[in-house]
Structure formats: structure tokens, C-alpha cells
């Protein structure tokens, strides 16, 4: 077990090194960006990016997760083909719908510039296919190459956004920089990892249909569960924008971005390695309890210090780093710090649901989360009251989630 633990954390360090670099550039650029654009521009960009991230989940059908379990080269090539087909169809559909919504004068579509509307499909396709290549790299322990691809994407996004804002093109600089960075990141991922190329056809081929049948649990149960999770995560931003305006949405978006940084840097790095280690433990021992407990303790110790710091100093910190106009975002951060702490612990451990074949249970939990979220933000409350209630409700559901995932980590399922 000692050798396994050493290997686990050596992989985490490899992923973490790349993740720190990938997240450091956007965080370093954030104080410049917040001084070059207002909360309203940040709100519009965050809503646009939220739509892309939600659509990307649908585009992958969550089959990129299955690739980590299935190492057959022909099967993986088929997986790339299925996801490329799905993402292309969805990208065309989204672009046509966005164009139609703007042409028909829909209120929400009018809030976004033409560039934002017409790049929704492109951004979604780039995001979905890059995620698939990262999963392919994870299946072969190519964590270093995956990390370098992330650095290329994040660095290009940050530098391009700042450069375009300095050039004076306005809020669309955030969207244009994101698209350019995603494209560079995808090119880097392809060059570094040389994944199998997809096969394109007018309709799915027989091997592709067989692949969908073989991994039915992922698109039937994991996809709805993950989609609900992503929608529930973005729903507060959307509802705040509708109910309180783009100014409040921009402040909330910065809060989410700062609080999510530890999860993006550390927890996501642990997840990439935990995925592979959990599969290997289940195949060897029939459970992954030891790795689960070790990962839980480490995440707890890593997260408690930053959480306390944010809780105590967030308002002054936000005003100092991002500008006085962003001080209210610091107040939101104080309210939500406990939620992001427990999310930091629970997110990497969530993969146990996939390995143990408990997608149905996770789907039920995600439905409960979605219902709680939409109920909280539709109640006639002030924004701070909504955030307090949201934090309490979400944290309570996360406690249940952790208890379930720990229970499933003990399952004696035999080979996966």
C-alpha cells in the first residue's frame, strides 16, 4: 500500500505542477481584468461561459469518463468518433438557435453581443473535445502532457484577454480571448498526446452504436447527473443575473472564480489521479477504501487554512486585489467559504460513484441539489439571504454525498 500511495502522490504532484501554472496566470491576470472591465462585462462573460460549459457536458455524453475504464485502442478511437459527432451536431444546433433568438429579439439574447452568440457552439466544441483528450491522457498516466496542454490554454486565455482589453475593444475581449485560448489549448493537446483521430460520418456507424450500447450507463445516468450538477452550479449565476442584474452577476462570478481556485488547482489535480487509482484498487482489491481515506484526510488539511483566511479577510482582500468596486464580492465570498471547503473535499472523491456503478444514486442526489438551488434563488429574499440559505442547503447535501461515497468505496465488487 505504501508503494501505491507514493505513486498516487507522485502523479498528483505532476498534475498539480501543471494545474498551478494553468490557474496562476488567470488569477494573476484577474486584478488587471477587473480594472479594465466592469462587473457588468464580467457578468455577461460569465453567463456566456456558463452556457458553453453546460453544453460541453451534453456534447461528451460523459463517454470520456468511460475511456479511463476501457483501454482498448479501437474502443478509444470509437469514443473519440462518438464525441466528435455529438459535439458537432450540438454546436451547429446551438449556433442556429442563438442566431434565431437574436433575430427574433429575445430579451436574454439581446444582452449578449453577436460575437458571444455566434461563438457559443465553437466554444462548446473546443471544450468538449479537449476534455476528451485529457481523459485519454489520464487513461495512460500521461499527466504531465495533460498539464502542459492546460497551461497552454489557460496562459493564452489570460494573456489574450488582457491584451484585447488594453486594445480597447471592450467586454467582448473576454469572450474572444477565451475562444482563442481554447483553440490553442486543443492544438497543444493534440500535438502533445497524439490521440486517435475521430471518424466522421453523416450518421453514427455500427461500431459507434455498439459503443453507445456498451456504455449505456454513462449517457443514461451519469450524463443527466453531471448535467444537473453543472446546471445547478451555474443556476445561481443565471438567476442572479435575471433577478438582480448583470452587475450582481459579475460580482458573484468573481466570488465563484476566486473560491473555486483551490478546487481547480488542488482538488482537480487529485481527481485526475484518484480516478485511475480508484479503478486500479477496485480491480485489485475489490474496493478503494484505503485510497479514499488517505485522499479525504489530505484534502481536509489542505483546505481548512485557506477557508479560514477567506472567511476572516475576504472583503478587504477583494478590495485590495481587484479594486474597491469589487468589495461586495468579498462579502459574498465570506458567506460561501464553508460551502467551497466541503466541495473541495467532496469533488475528487465523487468518482467512486462511477467506479462502483452507482450512477443512479448520484442522479437522485443531483436532482435534490437542483431542486434545492432553484427553490432558494426563486424565494423572495435579498441576495445575501439567498447565498446564506444556498450555502447551508448545499453543504448539507454534500455531507450526505460524502457519507454515500465512503460507503461505496468499501464495496467488494470484484474486477470492474
Asked if 8 and 152 sit in the same domain, the reply is yes
Question: Are 226 and 354 found together in one domain?
Answer: yes
Q: Are residues 47 and 149 in the same domain?
A: yes
Are residue 364 and residue 383 in the same domain, yes or no? yes
Q: How many residues does the chain have?
A: 416
pLDDT category of residue 110 using cuts at 50, 70 and 90: confident
pLDDT on residue 326: 92
What are the tens digits of pLDDT across the range 225-253?
788 878 888 999 999 988 888 889 999 99
Res 8 pLDDT > 80: no
The residue among 214, 233, 249 that closes a domain is: 214
| Of residues 313, 396, 413, the one with CA closest to residue 354 | 413
Residue located via cell numbers 472591465 = 37
Q: How far apart are CA 85 and CA 69, in angstroms?
A: 21
End-to-end CA, the chain: 20
Q: What is the pLDDT of residues 179-218, one digit of tens each?
A: 999 999 999 999 999 999 898 888 889 999 999 999 888 8
pLDDT in tens, 292-303: 888 888 888 888
Domain co-membership, 65 together with 184: yes
**Average pLDDT value for residue range 142-155:** 85
201 and 309 part of one domain: no
Reply yes or no on whether the pLDDT at 137 is more than 80.
yes
Confidence of residue 399 (pLDDT cuts 50, 70, 90): very high
Do 141 and 70 form a contact (C-beta atoms < 8 A)? no
Cβ–Cβ < 8 Å for 164, 32: no
Q: Are residues 220 and 339 in the same domain?
A: yes
pLDDT above 70 for 133? yes
Summary mean pLDDT of the chain:
85
* Residue-number span of the structural domain to which 305 is assigned: 215-416
Q: Which residues 6+ apart lie within 8 Å of 72 measured at CB?
A: none
Answer positive or negative: Cα dihedral of 130, 186, 275, 268. negative
This prediction's pTM: 0.77
Residue 10, class by beta-carbon neighbours within 10 Å (0-12 exposed, 13-18 middle, 19+ buried)?
exposed
Q: Within this chain, do residues 5 and 135 fall inside the same structural domain, yes or no? A: yes
CB distance 337 to 260 below 8 Å: no
Longest dimension (CA), the chain: 63
Q: Are residues 310 and 386 in the same domain?
A: yes
- Sort 320 into a burial class: Cβ within 10 Å, 0-12 / 13-18 / 19+: middle
Lowest mean pLDDT among 129-133, 220-224, 259-263, 314-318: 259-263
Q: Residue 185's closest CA among 157, 143, 144?
A: 157
Q: Do 254 and 208 fall within a single domain?
A: no
End residue of a domain, out of 214, 245, 280 = 214
- Give mean pLDDT, residues 115-140: 92
Asked if residues 82 and 113 have their Cβ atoms less than 8 Å apart, the reply is no
**3-state percent breakdown (helix, strand, coil) of the chain, nearest 5:** 85, 0, 15
Spatial contact of 299 and 342, defined as CB atoms under 8 Å apart: no
416, pLDDT greater than 50: no
Q: Looking at the 3D structure of the chain, how many domains does it have? A: 2
The lowest-confidence range among 133-147, 194-208, 306-320 is 133-147
DSSP string, 298-326: HHHHHHHHHHHHHHHHHHHHHHHHH-GGG
- Give the residue from 187, 317, 323, 186 showing the smallest Cα distance to 261: 317
- Residue 68's contacts (CB-CB under 8 Å, 6 or more residues apart) are 135, 138, 139, 275, 276, 279
What would the pLDDT profile of 25-80 be if each residue is shown by its tens digit? 777 788 999 999 888 899 999 999 999 999 999 999 999 888 877 778 888 999 99
Residue with cell 441576495: 383
pLDDT value of position 414: 41
Q: How confident is the model at residue 275 (pLDDT cuts 50, 70, 90)?
A: low
Give the pLDDT confidence score for residue 66 in this predicted structure. Answer: 83
**Cell 443531483 appears where?**
366
Question: How sure is the predictor about 415, in pLDDT bands with cuts at 50, 70 and 90?
Answer: very low
Q: Report the share of the chain in percent with pLDDT over 70.
A: 88
Judge if 128 and 26 occupy the same domain. Answer: yes
* Residue 350 pLDDT: 78
Claim to verify: residue 257 and residue 320 sit in the same structural domain: yes
Instruction: Identify whether the C-beta of residue 262 lies closer than 8 Å to the C-beta of residue 16.
Output: no
- At which of 169, 196, 214 does a domain end? 214
pLDDT, one tens digit per residue, over 11-26 is: 555 555 555 666 667 7
More confident residue, 297 or 275: 297
Amino acid at each position: 500500500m505504501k508503494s501505491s500511495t507514493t505513486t498516487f502522490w507522485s502523479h498528483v504532484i505532476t498534475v498539480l505542477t501543471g494545474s498551478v501554472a494553468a490557474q496562476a496566470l488567470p488569477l494573476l491576470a484577474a486584478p488587471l481584468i477587473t480594472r479594465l472591465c466592469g462587473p457588468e462585462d464580467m457578468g455577461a462573460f460569465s453567463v456566456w461561459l456558463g452556457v458553453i460549459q453546460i453544453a460541453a457536458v451534453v456534447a461528451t455524453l460523459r463517454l470520456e469518463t468511460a475511456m479511463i475504464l476501457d483501454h482498448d485502442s479501437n474502443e478509444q478511437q470509437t469514443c473519440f468518433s462518438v464525441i466528435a459527432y455529438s459535439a458537432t451536431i450540438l454546436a451547429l444546433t446551438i449556433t442556429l438557435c442563438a442566431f434565431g433568438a437574436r433575430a427574433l429579439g429575445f430579451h436574454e439574447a439581446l444582452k449578449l453581443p453577436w460575437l458571444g452568440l455566434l461563438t457559443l457552439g465553437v466554444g462548446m466544441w473546443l471544450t468538449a473535445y479537449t476534455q476528451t483528450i485529457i481523459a485519454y491522457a489520464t487513461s495512460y498516466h500521461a499527466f504531465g502532457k495533460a498539464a502542459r496542454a492546460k497551461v497552454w490554454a489557460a496562459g493564452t486565455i489570460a494573456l489574450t484577454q488582457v491584451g484585447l482589453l488594453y486594445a480597447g475593444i471592450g467586454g467582448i475581449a473576454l469572450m474572444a480571448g477565451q475562444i482563442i485560448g481554447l483553440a490553442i489549448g486543443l492544438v497543444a493537446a493534440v500535438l502533445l498526446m497524439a490521440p486517435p483521430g475521430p471518424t466522421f460520418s453523416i450518421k453514427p456507424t455500427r461500431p459507434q452504436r455498439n459503443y453507445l450500447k456498451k456504455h449505456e450507463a454513462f449517457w443514461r445516468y451519469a450524463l443527466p447527473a453531471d448535467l444537473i450538477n453543472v446546471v445547478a452550479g451555474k443556476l445561481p449565476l443565471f438567476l442572479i443575473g435575471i433577478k438582480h442584474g448583470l452587475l450582481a452577476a459579475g460580482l458573484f462570478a468573481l466570488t465563484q472564480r476566486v473560491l473555486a481556485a483551490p478546487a481547480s488547482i488542488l482538488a482537480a489535480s487529485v481527481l485526475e489521479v484518484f480516478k485511475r487509482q480508484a479503478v486500479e484498487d477496485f480491480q485489485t482489491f475489490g474496493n478503494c477504501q484505503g485510497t479514499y481515506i488517505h485522499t479525504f484526510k489530505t484534502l481536509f488539511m489542505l483546505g481548512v487554512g485557506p477557508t479560514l483566511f477567506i472567511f476572516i479577510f475576504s472583503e478587504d482582500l477583494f478590495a485590495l486585489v481587484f479594486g474597491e468596486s469589487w468589495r461586495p464580492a468579498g462579502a459574498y465570498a465570506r458567506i460561501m467559504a464553508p460551502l467551497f471547503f466541503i466541495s473541495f473535499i467532496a469533488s475528487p472523491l465523487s468518482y467512486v460513484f462511477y467506479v462502483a456503478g452507482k450512477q443512479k444514486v448520484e442522479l437522485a442526489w443531483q436532482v435534490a441539489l437542483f431542486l434545492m438551488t432553484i427553490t432558494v434563488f426563486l424565494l423572495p429574499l435579498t441576495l445575501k439571504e439567498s447565498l446564506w440559505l444556498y450555502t447551508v442547503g448545499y453543504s448539507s447535501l454534500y455531507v450526505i454525498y460524502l457519507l454515500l461515497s465512503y460507503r461505496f468505496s468499501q464495496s467488494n465488487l470484484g474486477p470492474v
